[in-house]
């Protein structure tokens, strides 16, 4: 018996030892600091942090500025930048575990690095490569100076990382990640989280319900403003933290850059903002840009039928390394399949191929570079005509008084007559589109007669309050344009439309409006609740009377808004992310229960519930989900508050007077110091943001120097 036990113990030890050998997979070490910092000597950037901590980055060349952008942004949000790089490389699961494995799989499935490997050298111009190389050098200098904060094996950062980041992330903005996750067969609709919600969970698969990515944008021409001033409001609704949260910077070079705006971690240039001559705001749009094909496959799954013939799948095996403890990782091997349609997904309910806008595109950074350098409407439209960005609306204004709306996307050139939003037969090659419609076919409205353009994530057929709105009959059905209105777009229509002047005060009243419109989802839910007979429950009957008295506003003093918003919020979210909402009467009951549990009453002031929380700072907020003052919580949790997680974030009001003189005011929801809770700039803008106030943007060098808090030049010293 003892001999058997000894042999059993020995076998167990051997098995454990063998498993340890198989799981042994250290991530490796980073290069020594002096090697990481070697390229820094090629660049010279001056960074002036103003009294709000905002960096103004100067350089002789555009590349010098990109170098400074990387170094400055790393100083504020290095952890998130590394998260973005690891996700882009498809190695995030090695650092973050199984929750990130779907993202690594998607990177491989979409061929992000196949695109970069094939097209980087030939299709990325030298001046764009120079920007990407300089940004990588700035990150590497920061890594050299901060080895303890740098993820093991992640450095050195490369120019290809920068370009690949655009290839990877841009299709997410029109919802490609959601389409893919649904096809994987999960019963819950899911997406890739772009907000870590207090942890390192960005790029993890999560059920729908994460903070929304929406936006408002407005432009008013001088003839409509009433005072001869051209105005632009930049107001995207992004997560307040994470890889698509705004960081503000001002970029100035002797080669023509002079632009202020918002950047995401990992991007070297302004994504939306303003220079001295023009500005633009982006809003998320959701045209139909991804097509799903049902494939007929043979018994062993190695071939698919097309035009009556069997074709072999193109296959490759990839290894996804899922981090365990320390140097150990589980190595999951997955076979990737591609058909002529595109990437193939095998699920229990069928085999599908997907074809999508942005597939194989690598010119995104080039287009942003050209937009950053544009100085007129013609130059801006020339940059837009590259059509390298798979989606995103543009609202434009300039000092010459031009305004414009562009429902931008790479629109597939599809065969007419099919319902492209539904699954398509995968056995017909005539349904596999090969190209995009030309830029001239993109819906756009330039200098409409009303002198006013807007977008609030709504249909492009409502972009102005004049008679020259775009019309459905002007576009082919197969283009797949969205037809929805949001509460915000309905509310804009209620607040405009009479041709009255829209001056500064009126424009800001519209932007910060806190009400739900007639015909909105919120109103429909409330009407459904009030149509119920609650007479058999005194508590709910009293709550229904309280709800009936709600004026549909979400000002912080409102004592009806908490019950109202909690009743409608999940219905509003359902139209954005596809998550199934509760029935109105159930949502109402749950709202009453939540308020009684956490506040002991159904009528707390909205500002007690709706809060901006940042470290030790907790401030009451006006606004709510899908109001023009957009505020979204991450969840309806058990803390008794709805902590803002998305919505209004970095906002700008840009003005050019009759002689072209510029004035700009901006605000960030928190401050310049993204991660450093000890910094004075971690939450210094939060009180202004909560009170819907501004700070003056510093545009001229003299004003920057007058308000300088710190000036430095990134450089390596042993």
pLDDT for residue 224: 98
- In three-state secondary structure terms, 669 is coil
Q: Kindly indicate the confidence band of residue 21, based on its pLDDT and cuts at 50, 70 and 90.
A: low
Phi, psi of 216 (to 5 degrees): -120, 150
In the predicted model, what is the mean pLDDT of residues 32-51? 98
pLDDT for residue 351: 95
Tokens representing residue 259 in the block: 């632009």
Return the minimum-mean-pLDDT range out of 77-81, 201-205, 644-648: 201-205
pLDDT for residue 209: 46
CA pair distance 541, 592, nearest whole angstrom: 11
Q: Give the pairing type, strands 343-347 and 695-696.
A: unpaired
Q: Kindly indicate the confidence band of residue 187, based on its pLDDT and cuts at 50, 70 and 90.
A: very low
**How many other CB atoms sit within 10 Å of the CB of residue 396?**
24
What value does the mean pLDDT of the chain take?
A: 92
Q: Kindly indicate the confidence band of residue 22, based on its pLDDT and cuts at 50, 70 and 90.
A: very low
Q: Kindly indicate the confidence band of residue 202, based on its pLDDT and cuts at 50, 70 and 90.
A: confident
Tokens representing residue 508 in the block: 């800001």
- Does the structure show a pLDDT above 80 at 240? yes
- Those residues with Cβ within 8 angstroms of residue 657's Cβ, 6 or more apart along the chain or in another chain: 228, 229, 663
- Does the structure show a pLDDT above 60 at 5? no
| Bridge partner residues of 288 (DSSP) | none
> Which DSSP helix (H) or strand (E) runs through 56?
strand 55-59
pLDDT digits (tens, 9 = 90+) for 299-308: 999 999 999 9
Rounded to 10 deg, the angle between the 521-530 and 538-548 helix axes is 140
> Which DSSP helix (H) or strand (E) runs through 706?
helix 701-706
- Does the structure show a pLDDT above 80 at 179? yes
pLDDT for residue 197: 55
CA pair distance 52, 683, nearest whole angstrom: 10
- Does the structure show a pLDDT above 60 at 196? no
In the predicted model, what is the mean pLDDT of residues 526-533? 97
pLDDT for residue 93: 93
pLDDT digits (tens, 9 = 90+) for 619-641: 999 999 999 999 999 889 999 99
pLDDT for residue 359: 96
pLDDT for residue 689: 98
Q: Kindly indicate the confidence band of residue 183, based on its pLDDT and cuts at 50, 70 and 90.
A: confident
- Does the structure show a pLDDT above 80 at 242? yes
Q: Of 527, 523, 534, which is closest to residue 589 (Cα–Cα)?
A: 534
pLDDT digits (tens, 9 = 90+) for 284-293: 999 999 999 9
pLDDT for residue 214: 77
pLDDT for residue 205: 63
Distances (CA, A) of 379 to 180, 222, 370, 386: 36, 21, 8, 12
pLDDT for residue 181: 78
Per the model's pLDDT, the better-predicted residue between 29 and 705 turns out to be 705
pLDDT digits (tens, 9 = 90+) for 97-132: 988 999 999 999 999 999 999 999 999 999 999 999
Q: Kindly indicate the confidence band of residue 498, based on its pLDDT and cuts at 50, 70 and 90.
A: confident
CA pair distance 271, 269, nearest whole angstrom: 6
| Bridge partner residues of 57 (DSSP) | 47, 251
3-state SS string for 100-159: HHHHHHHHHHCCHHHHHHHHHHHHCCHHHHHHHHHHHHHHHHHHHHCHHHCCCCCCCCCH
pLDDT for residue 574: 81
Tokens representing residue 504 in the block: 């500064």
- Those residues with Cβ within 8 angstroms of residue 199's Cβ, 6 or more apart along the chain or in another chain: none
- Does the structure show a pLDDT above 90 at 212? no
Return the minimum-mean-pLDDT range out of 20-29, 611-620, 655-664: 20-29
Tokens representing residue 169 in the block: 């992330």
CA pair distance 717, 708, nearest whole angstrom: 24
CA pair distance 27, 129, nearest whole angstrom: 28
CA pair distance 494, 630, nearest whole angstrom: 17
Q: Alpha-carbon torsion 177, 181, 187, 190, what sign?
A: negative
pLDDT digits (tens, 9 = 90+) for 502-528: 999 999 999 999 999 999 999 999 999
- Does the structure show a pLDDT above 90 at 660? yes
pLDDT for residue 200: 59
pLDDT for residue 211: 47
Tokens representing residue 651 in the block: 């906002």
CA pair distance 664, 232, nearest whole angstrom: 9
CA pair distance 629, 183, nearest whole angstrom: 35
What is Dmax (Cα atoms) for the chain?
A: 99
- Does the structure show a pLDDT above 80 at 647? yes
């Amino acid at each position: 018996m003892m001999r058997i036990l000894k042999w059993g113990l020995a076998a167990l030890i051997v098995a454990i030892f063998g498993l340890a050998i198989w799981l042994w997979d250290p991530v490796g070490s980073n290069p020594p600091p002096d090697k990481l910092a070697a390229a820094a000597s090629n660049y010279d950037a001056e960074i002036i942090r103003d009294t709000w901590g905002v960096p103004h980055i100067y350089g002789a060349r555009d590349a010098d500025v990109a170098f400074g952008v990387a170094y400055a942004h790393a100083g504020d949000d290095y952890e998130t930048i590394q998260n973005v790089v690891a996700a882009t490389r498809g190695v995030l699961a090695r650092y973050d575990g199984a929750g990130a494995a779907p993202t690594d799989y998607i990177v491989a499935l979409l061929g992000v690095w196949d695109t970069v490997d094939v097209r980087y050298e030939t299709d990325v111009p030298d001046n764009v490569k120079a920007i990407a190389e300089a940004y990588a050098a700035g990150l590497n200098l920061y890594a050299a100076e901060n080895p303890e904060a740098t993820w093991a094996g992640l450095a050195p950062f490369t120019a290809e990382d920068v370009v690949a980041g655009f290839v990877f992330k841009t299709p997410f903005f029109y919802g490609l990640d959601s389409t893919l996750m649904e096809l994987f067969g999960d019963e819950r609709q899911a997406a890739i989280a772009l907000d870590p919600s207090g942890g390192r969970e960005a790029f993890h698969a999560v059920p729908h319900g994460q903070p929304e990515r929406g936006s408002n944008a407005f432009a008013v021409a001088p003839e409509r403003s009433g005072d001869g001033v051209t105005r632009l409001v930049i107001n995207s609704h992004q997560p307040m933290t994470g890889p698509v949260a705004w960081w503000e910077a001002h970029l100035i070079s002797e080669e023509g850059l002079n632009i202020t705006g918002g950047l995401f971690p990992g991007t070297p240039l302004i994504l939306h903002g303003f220079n001295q001559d023009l500005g633009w705001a982006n809003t998320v749009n959701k045209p139909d840009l991804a097509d799903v094909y049902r494939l007929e496959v043979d018994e062993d799954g190695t071939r698919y039928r097309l035009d009556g013939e069997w074709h072999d799948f193109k296959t490759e095996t990839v290894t996804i390394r899922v981090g365990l403890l320390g140097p150990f990782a589980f190595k999951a091997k997955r076979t990737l399949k591609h058909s002529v349609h595109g990437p193939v997904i095998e699920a229990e309910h069928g085999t599908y191929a997907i074809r999508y806008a942005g597939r194989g595109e690598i010119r995104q950074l080039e287009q942003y570079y050209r937009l950053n350098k544009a100085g007129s409407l013609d130059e801006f439209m020339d940059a837009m005509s590259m059509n390298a960005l798979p989606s995103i609306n543009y609202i434009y204004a300039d000092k010459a008084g031009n305004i414009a709306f562009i429902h931008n996307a790479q629109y597939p050139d599809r065969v007419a007559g099919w319902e492209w939003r539904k699954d398509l037969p995968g056995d017909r090659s005539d349904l596999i589109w090969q190209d995009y419609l030309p830029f001239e076919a993109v819906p756009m409205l330039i200098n409409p007669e009303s002198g006013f353009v807007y977008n609030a994530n709504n249909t492009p057929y409502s972009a102005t309050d004049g008679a020259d709105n775009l019309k459905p009959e002007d576009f082919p059905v197969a283009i797949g344009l969205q037809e929805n209105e949001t509460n915000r777009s309905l509310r804009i229509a209620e607040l405009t439309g009479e041709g009255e002047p829209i001056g500064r005060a009126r424009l800001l009243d519209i932007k910060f409006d806190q009400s739900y419109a007639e015909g909105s989802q919120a109103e429909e839910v409330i009407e459904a609740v009030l149509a119920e007979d609650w007479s058999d429950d005194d508590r709910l009957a009293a709550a229904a009377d309280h709800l009936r008295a709600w004026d549909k506003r979400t000002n912080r003093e409102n004592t009806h808004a908490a019950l109202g918003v909690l009743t409608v919020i999940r219905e509003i979210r359902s139209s954005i992310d596809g998550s199934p909402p509760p029935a109105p009467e159930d949502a109402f009951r749950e709202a009453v229960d939540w308020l009684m549990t956490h506040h002991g009453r159904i009528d707390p002031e909205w500002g007690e519930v709706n809060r901006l929380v940042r470290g030790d700072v907790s401030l009451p907020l006006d606004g709510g989900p899908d109001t023009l003052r957009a505020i979204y919580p991450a969840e309806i949790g058990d803390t008794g508050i709805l902590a803002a997680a998305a919505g209004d974030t970095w906002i700008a009001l840009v003005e050019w007077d009759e002689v072209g003189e510029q004035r700009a005011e901006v605000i960030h929801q928190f401050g310049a110091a993204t991660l450093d809770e000890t910094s004075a700039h971690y939450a210094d803008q939060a009180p202004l943001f909560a009170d819907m106030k501004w700070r003056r943007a510093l545009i001229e060098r003299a004003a920057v120097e007058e308000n300088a808090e710190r000036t430095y030049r990134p450089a390596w010293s042993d």
